[in-house]
A and B are shown apart, each in its own frame.
Chain A
Amino acid sequence: MLKYTLQRALLALAVAAVVSFATFLLLNYATDPAYAIAGEDADPAVVEQIRQTYGLDRPIMVRYLDWAGGVLRGDFGDSYYWHKPVAELVADRAPVTVALAVSALLVTIVIAIPLGALAALNPNSVIDRFALMIAVSAQAIPNFWLGLIMIILLGVMLPVFPVSGDDSWRHFVLPAFVLGASSVPAVMRLTRTGLIEVMESDYIRTARSKGFRGLALLRRHALRNAILPVVSVLAVQLGQKFGGSVITETIFAINGLGRLALESILGADIPTVQMLIFVFAMVFVGMNLLADMLNAALDPRIRIG
């Protein structure tokens, strides 16, 4: 287990290094940060001045190492746009996005797992077909459009939940539903196929012959094994929720990291964009690592084999 954990952790570190370097290169070569600060039609002399003040005249490798060294000390540089430390900006906005991502994942779990389980227990039934239809349609609905339709329907015709802002838990209901809906197809399909596979296995037949039926069979025997792949996918989906927050937060006027991302991109605020991409990637990597560890803890075949 220790060796496995170490291997995974090393891989995560390597991914962090490569991802941050690739992002740094892309963002700094696709544009000239000095012009991004000064504005498009700035005087070349001013731009040169900025280049020296911000240290942009140094080679890219030096600048990256400088940035990476800062990151290790928790310093992500200063925002060009808000003129504040980027880390401070992100820390201010992060709690809202974490709350949104976690509640979105809860929505996914509450919808997808029961639906997938029902479909698996009654293959080719009406429920199964209904679940498949939901999965196929949900995959084709643009997330931002679903959000707007919810606002039109629920915000005006049936105003139960507020459609903009992040002041109370009630503000999170609709955004969490919209953000959570996008993961329903993947999680539902996986629950269904996993459970069907398990239900056909020998040990379930044994349990059945011992008299286990219905929920008891599901809870004590089937779900434990069927849930393994679902757990890793849920962790990965939680990681993706942060990236998906850009759209949801923009539509529902939530002041989290997603909005910050859009604002900083439109403001060509490269240090903020750089940090957000890095943080989102690290959340994803961390969630993957967590899923691997969980799977290893639950399934002895992984940690030994």
Chain B
Amino acid sequence: MSDQALSRPADSEALEALPPTPRQVILRRARRHRGLLIGGVILLALAAVALFAPLLAPHDPTAQSLAHRLLPPAWAQGGKAEFLLGTDQNGRDYLSRLIYGTRVSLMVGFGAASIGLIIGVTLGIMAGYFGGLIDHAVSFLLTAQLALPGLLLAMALVFIIGPSVWVVIAIVGVLHWNYYLVVTRAATMRLRSLDFVAASDAMGASAWQTLSHEVLPNLAGQIIVIFTFELGIAILAESSLSFLGVGIQPPTPSWGLMIAEGKQSMFYRPWLVVLPGIALFLLVIGANLFGDGLRDVTSPQGRN
């Protein structure tokens, strides 16, 4: 087909038959990838919820009202239309708390996944590009980091330093860089043996120039894929910490914390536990589906 196109460049039909550019291939695959679309829509929708929380939330998420404690959702018996998803033990509107909880989850997710990215990608590129002693040192660091019980260490550090959103972001980020490292290290090693990287070295580019101009742009796709997975992992980590009482502190509406608060009366008011869990599940599965899809449509072999 391409031979024909080359021999008759003036023919517009033949031009259209030219093999599609990589970008076109990816876009076409993306439009057909159901997981990617579902994940993307979920992520976008929840990002919009987080962004427009003040407009969407019917009440102040921290406003307490003793007169309206533990109301069931509006459609259940005893529910009030004013509080669509009911209220919690302090009479705070549950829907508003869930909406503002999106902000906390996404903030921790993006913050922690970015910190992990900076640490992991820096170490991975250095190990893959320089090899030798640096590679050995980084690989050893990775082995040691994997051995540490992450949740336990995070709990201890957050509690000792003093729990706050920023401390949670920092600790979760600092403890989640191994996945970035493993992938960028292997990919950099592969790139290192390719001609364009060797050419950059041969033309006298410094290691920094080669890494930032030749290597890093070629890793961007893979790094974004890992970022979406780490987003989900960080969000789950924050919810676990907050659930155990060593993460986000009241009255900030964190989904993990809301589940912990609802636990006391979960047999009579299961929605207090069920609803934030569904919110967490949606956000994390959205990120994972999006990441899976992104990996499928950007990998050279493709899937399906």
Q: Give Cα A29–Cα B148 distance, bound, in whole angstroms.
A: 18
B304 to A, closest residue via Cβ: A124
What residues of chain A lie closer than 8 Å to B156, measured between beta carbons? 27, 265, 273, 277
Contacting A at CB under 8 A, from B238-271, are: 239-240, 243-246, 256, 259, 263, 266-267, 270
Contacting A at CB under 8 A, from B148-180, are: 148-153, 155-157, 159-161
B143 touches A15 (CB 8 A): yes
What residues of chain B lie closer than 8 Å to A281, measured between beta carbons? 147-149
What residues of chain B lie closer than 8 Å to A240, measured between beta carbons? 149
A243 CB-CB contact with B under 8 Å: yes
A46 CB-CB contact with B under 8 Å: no
Q: Give Cα A151–Cα B264 distance, bound, in whole angstroms.
A: 12
How big is the B interface, by class?
35 or more
What residues of chain A lie closer than 8 Å to B143, measured between beta carbons? 11, 15
Partner of A142, one of B161, B240, B263, B266: B240
A142 touches B288 (CB 8 A): no
A145 touches B155 (CB 8 A): no
B281 touches A141 (CB 8 A): yes
Which of these binds chain A: B6-14, B56-64, B272-280? B272-280
Q: Give Cα A155–Cα B270 distance, bound, in whole angstroms.
A: 13
A27 touches B266 (CB 8 A): no
A22 touches B144 (CB 8 A): yes
Q: Give Cα A280–Cα B147 distance, bound, in whole angstroms.
A: 8
A160 CB-CB contact with B under 8 Å: no
A244 CB-CB contact with B under 8 Å: yes
Which of these binds chain B: A82-90, A93-101, A132-140, A296-304? A132-140
Q: Give Cα A142–Cα B155 distance, bound, in whole angstroms.
A: 16
B285 CB-CB contact with A under 8 Å: yes
A71 CB-CB contact with B under 8 Å: no
The answer to whether A265 and B288 touch (CB under 8 A), given A19-B144, A145-B259, is no
B239 touches A142 (CB 8 A): yes
Q: Give Cα A143–Cα B240 distance, bound, in whole angstroms.
A: 8
B211 CB-CB contact with A under 8 Å: no
B39 to A, closest residue via Cβ: A136
Q: How far is the CB of B140 from chain A (nearest CB, A)?
A: 7
What residues of chain A lie closer than 8 Å to B280, measured between beta carbons? 140, 142, 145
A30 CB-CB contact with B under 8 Å: yes
A255 CB-CB contact with B under 8 Å: no
Q: Give Cα A143–Cα B281 distance, bound, in whole angstroms.
A: 11
Partner of A152, one of B149, B150, B160, B270: B270
A30 touches B160 (CB 8 A): yes
B236 CB-CB contact with A under 8 Å: yes
Q: Give Cα A296–Cα B256 distance, bound, in whole angstroms.
A: 42
What residues of chain A lie closer than 8 Å to B159, measured between beta carbons? 265-266, 268
Contacting B at CB under 8 A, from A232-278, are: 240, 242-244, 246-247, 250, 261-262, 265-266, 268, 273, 276-277
